[in-house]
Amino acid sequence: MSPFTPGPQSGLHRKGLRGHGTERPRRSLWQRFRLHRFSSRLLHGGLAIAAVATTTLTDTAQAAPGLVIDLASGNVIYQSEATRPWYPASLTKLMTLYVALQAVRDHRIGFDTPLVVSARAHAMPPSKMGFKPGTQVTLGNALKMLMVKSANDIAITVAEGIAGSVEAFAEDMNAQAADLGLRQSHFVNPNGLHNEQHYSSARDMALLARALYLRFPQYASLYNIGALRLGNQIIQNHNNLLGRYPGVDGMKTGYTCTAGFNIVASAEQSGRRVIVVVLGSPNVETRTIKAAALFDRAFSNIDHAFVTLDNLPVPPDMLPSPYDVCRNRAQVMAEANAEIDTLMTPLQAGAFTPQPERAFLFDADALGRAVPVASRITLVPRPVFDPQPVSVGPVAGYSGPVAQARAPHTPIGSAPLPELASAYAPKAAARPLPLMPDLDAVPLKQTQTPIKPAVVLKPAPVAHRMAHHAPVSPPPAHAAATVKPPVVKAKVVSVKPVVLLKTAAPLPPKTAEKPKTAGKPAAKVSAKTATTEKTAVH
C-alpha cells in the first residue's frame, strides 16, 4: 500500500485547539463539501471575524518564527523571525538524538546496550512510556520511542545512560551546540520541558536538522517511523504531515504551553530536500497548514535562496520570548490566520485552480495533481502505517555492560552511586529486616482499665468468710482483735478471696469449738464472737 493511500479504517484524523487527537467517522459528501468550503473561506480571509481581527492588528501583529532551508546548500529560502529566541519544547529531542548518535559513532555505547530506567526518569510528566524503575530498554528501542512517542522519561533514561546524569548530558548538548554553531540555544534537559534557561531558535533547529541528515544519513529512517508496536499497544507518531504531504519523511514535533505547537519537518521532491521549521502555532491544524504552505512555496519556486544561515541577522535581545500561546489564544489565532493568508496569496495567484466538485474526494492522486496542498491538507486523513515492533529488556544473549545513572561522565558499566542504586532497585531486593520483640512492651491482651465496682468485695464479708472457713482452730481473743481493715483491703484488690472461696476447706465440727471448762473467759470469748458475727451480717 502506498504511504499516501488511506487505509480502510483510517477515518478522518484531526486535532483540535487542545491538541488531542480523535478519530472521527467519515462524513457525508455534503458535510465534506461544506467543510472544504469553510476551510477555503478561512484561508482566503472570508470570515468576518478574521478580517476584523487582522485589520486591528496590522500595526502590532508579529509573525511567529518560521524558516525554510535547502538541505544540500544550507541556503535560506524563507525566513521570519528565524533568530528570535524561542522555547523548543520537544524539538529538544533532536539534540538528544544527535548526542546519542555521536556517542555511538565514538564507540562509547551501542544500540544493543541496555539502559536502566531510574526513579527520576519514571517521575517525568507525559508524554511518557511509563516504565517502572529498574526496567531495561536498549538504546535502539529507546531512540525509536523518543522520536515517535516523544517520551520524556525515555529522554532522561538516554541521558543518564550515556553521560551518567541529566546535568552531565546537558553539558554534552551545549558542547555539541557550540560545535554546530547554534547561536541562540542553551539546553538544561534532554526532553524540552519548560525551563527559563532552556531555549533555541528556528535557525538553530534548522541547522541541527541539517546536521542530522548530513552527518548521520544511515539513521534517517528514525525520523520517518509512522507507528510503533509495543506488545498489544500501537503508538502513533505526532507528526501529522507524514503520509499527508507528498515527500514528507520527518522529523519532530513539540508542544508546551509557553512554546506553542512547534515542528521541524523535511520533505523531498524531484531529488530536492527542503527543511521547514515552524514555531509558536496556536494549534495543530494551524501548524500543519503553515508548514504545508511553506513546502508549497519552496517546491513551486516562489521563494528563492537569498542568504545563508550564517548571515541571518541576530536580534539584540538574546533572552527567550515571553510569548504565551495559552493566555493570548485569540490574538495568536488572528496573527496566525493573517500570516497563513499572506503565505497563500502567491500560491492562489498562480496556476492552481480549485475544483470544488472534487475537493471532497480523498485519494492519493489528488495530492499530486493540485498545488497548493496546504489549502486542504487538514482534510486528508492520516494513513494507517505498518508499525515497527519495539520491546523492553536486553537483547537475547547480550553480555556487555549496562548503562545506568552513575557518576557524571564515567564510563558505561561503572557502578552507580549508592543513592542512585537504591532509586531504581526492584522492590523485591530491598526487604526490611524483621523487627525484634521489645521486652518492655505491654501485651495487647493486658488492659489498664480499672477493676469494675461489681468485682470489689466489701471488707466485712470477706473477713467474715475467711474467719469462718479457716481450717484451723479459732485464734485467741487478743489475735481476733488485731485484725484491721487495711489488711483486708489489700487482699480484696488482689482478687484472691474469690479463689479462696472455691478452694476453702469444709467447716470443722461444732464440737471442736466448745470450751473444755465453763467459766467467765469462755463466756467472754463467746460474747465477742457473737458481736463480731452480728456486725458482719449487717
Do the domain assignments include residue 71? yes
SS3 call for 255: strand
Distance CA 114, CA 305 (A): 44
C-alpha grid cell, residue 227: 507507528
Do the domain assignments include residue 427? no
CA separation, residue 161 to residues 82, 99, 153, 155, 165 (Å): 33, 12, 12, 10, 8
**What is the model's pTM?**
0.67
Do the domain assignments include residue 484? no
Report residue 12 CA to chain centroid gap: 28
Which residue in the list 10, 127, 150, 165 is annotated as catalytic? 150
Do the domain assignments include residue 169? yes
Domain count of the chain?
1
pLDDT value at residue 44: 44
pLDDT value at residue 71: 96
Distance CA 78, CA 276 (A): 9
Q: Check which CATH number belongs to the domain holding 223 and give it.
A: 3.40.710.10
Nearest CA to 264 among 97, 15, 138?
97
Residue entry with cell 539546553:
187
pLDDT digits (tens, 9 = 90+) for 219-271: 999 999 999 999 999 999 999 999 999 999 999 999 999 899 999 999 999 99
Distance CA 510, CA 481 (A): 22
The reply to whether 150 belongs to the active site is: yes
C-alpha grid cell, residue 523: 463466756
pLDDT value at residue 24: 45
Do the domain assignments include residue 60? no
Low-confidence ranges of the chain (pLDDT < 70): 1-62, 316-325, 350-371, 419-439, 441-538
pLDDT value at residue 461: 53
- Rg for the chain (alpha carbons), in Å? 44
Which residue in the list 10, 39, 80, 90 is annotated as catalytic? 90
CA separation, residue 26 to residues 95, 234, 262 (Å): 39, 22, 28
pLDDT value at residue 298: 95
pLDDT value at residue 175: 98
Distance CA 463, CA 491 (A): 10
C-alpha grid cell, residue 190: 534532554
Annotated binding residues, written as ranges, equal 252
Which residue in the list 15, 80, 93, 128 is annotated as catalytic? 93
Do the domain assignments include residue 46? no
Distance CA 157, CA 129 (A): 11
Distance CA 96, CA 170 (A): 9
SS3 call for 337: helix
Do the domain assignments include residue 128? yes
C-alpha grid cell, residue 192: 524540552
Largest CA distance in the chain: 154
Distance CA 89, CA 419 (A): 30
pLDDT value at residue 358: 37
Distance CA 208, CA 181 (A): 9
Do the domain assignments include residue 404? no
Domain range holding 176? 66-354+364-390
pLDDT value at residue 273: 96
pLDDT digits (tens, 9 = 90+) for 153-164: 999 999 999 999
φ/ψ region of 181 (left if φ > 0, alpha if ψ in -120 to 50, else beta) reads left
Per-residue 3-state assignment (H helix, E strand, C coil) for 196-249: CCCEECHHHHHHHHHHHHHHCHHHHHHHHCCEEEECCEEEECCCCCCCCCCCEE
The reply to whether 93 belongs to the active site is: yes
Distance CA 188, CA 89 (A): 12
Give yes or no for a contact between 375 and 344, defined as CB atoms under 8 angstroms apart: yes
The reply to whether 484 belongs to the active site is: no
pLDDT value at residue 215: 97
**Cα dihedral 269→275→281→283 (10° resolution):** 50
In sequence order, which residues have a C-beta less than 8 Å from that of residue 140 and are 6 or more positions away? 111, 112
C-alpha grid cell, residue 422: 537504591
Annotated binding residues for substrate, written as ranges, equal 252
